[in-house]
């Protein structure tokens, strides 16, 4: 099936059952980048349109990559600082970063804590914790070495722990 039009038709049929799930996953990924519901919705819509016009096969990772590219384009246009270069020196695999915390979800504290993370930290955290990607996979999808991803994840968890209180107390 080399004809892009036929492939799109077939993909759309196969997709019909999963479309809600893929759109939601894409929205969550976009939200992890922008931390803004309206902007995330725009990103997903842009990405859908881009995939539709390119006739690309509907693949979750490709969809994520399209969303990421759209996000980067928007930031470049608005001349904001996007992803910063981080070194790998902060990685400390010995630290316990799977702590238990009081319910910081309902109180909105987790939302505030996540909003304080850098974009690349939120993105890596989302891909690792929610999507279940390995550091290797995240590195492949974001063009970063595995060590850098581990470092970013470590910093993200460390910042969350500092903000939320690592020993169960919430500040």
Residues that bind another protein (CB under 8 A): 3-6, 8-9, 12-13, 15, 19-20, 23-24, 27-28, 31-32, 37, 40-41, 44-45, 48-49, 52-53, 55, 78-81, 84, 98-106, 110-111, 114-116, 118, 125-126, 129-130, 157, 160-161, 164, 168
CA dist 83 and 93 (Å) reads 23
Closest CB to another protein among 79 and 143?
79
Closest CB to another protein among 96 and 143?
96
Using CB atoms within 10 Å of the CB of residue 38, give its burial: 0 to 12 exposed, 13 to 18 middle, 19+ buried: exposed
Least distance between another protein and beta carbon 168 (Å): 6
29's CB contacts (< 8 A; 6+ apart) are 64, 67, 68, 123, 126, 127, 131
CA dist 123 and 153 (Å) reads 9
Taken in order 42, 34, 119, 157, the sign of the CA dihedral is negative
Closest CB to another protein among 37 and 145?
37
Closest CB to another protein among 125 and 150?
125
Q: DSSP states of 109-125 as a string?
A: HHHHHHHTS-HHHHHHH
Least distance between another protein and beta carbon 133 (Å): 13
Least distance between another protein and beta carbon 156 (Å): 10
Least distance between another protein and beta carbon 58 (Å): 9
CA dist 74 and 92 (Å) reads 34
Least distance between another protein and beta carbon 19 (Å): 6
49's CB contacts (< 8 A; 6+ apart) are none
């Amino acid at each position: 099936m080399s004809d892009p039009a036929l492939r799109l038709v077939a993909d759309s049929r196969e997709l019909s059952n999963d479309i809600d799930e893929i759109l939601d996953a894409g929205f969550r990924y976009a939200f992890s980048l922008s931390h803004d519901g309206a902007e995330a919705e725009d990103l997903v819509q842009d990405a859908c349109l881009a995939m539709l016009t390119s006739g690309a096969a509907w693949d979750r990772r490709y969809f994520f990559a399209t969303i990421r590219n759209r996000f980067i384009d928007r930031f470049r246009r608005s001349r904001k600082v996007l992803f910063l270069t981080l070194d790998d020196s902060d990685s400390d695999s010995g630290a316990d970063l799977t702590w238990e915390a009081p319910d910081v979800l309902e109180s909105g504290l987790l939302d505030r804590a996540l909003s304080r993370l850098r974009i690349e930290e939120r993105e890596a955290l989302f891909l690792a914790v929610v999507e279940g990607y390995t550091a290797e996979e995240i590195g492949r999808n974001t063009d970063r070495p595995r060590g850098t991803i581990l470092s970013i994840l470590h910093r993200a968890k460390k910042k969350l722990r500092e903000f939320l209180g690592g020993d169960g107390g919430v500040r």
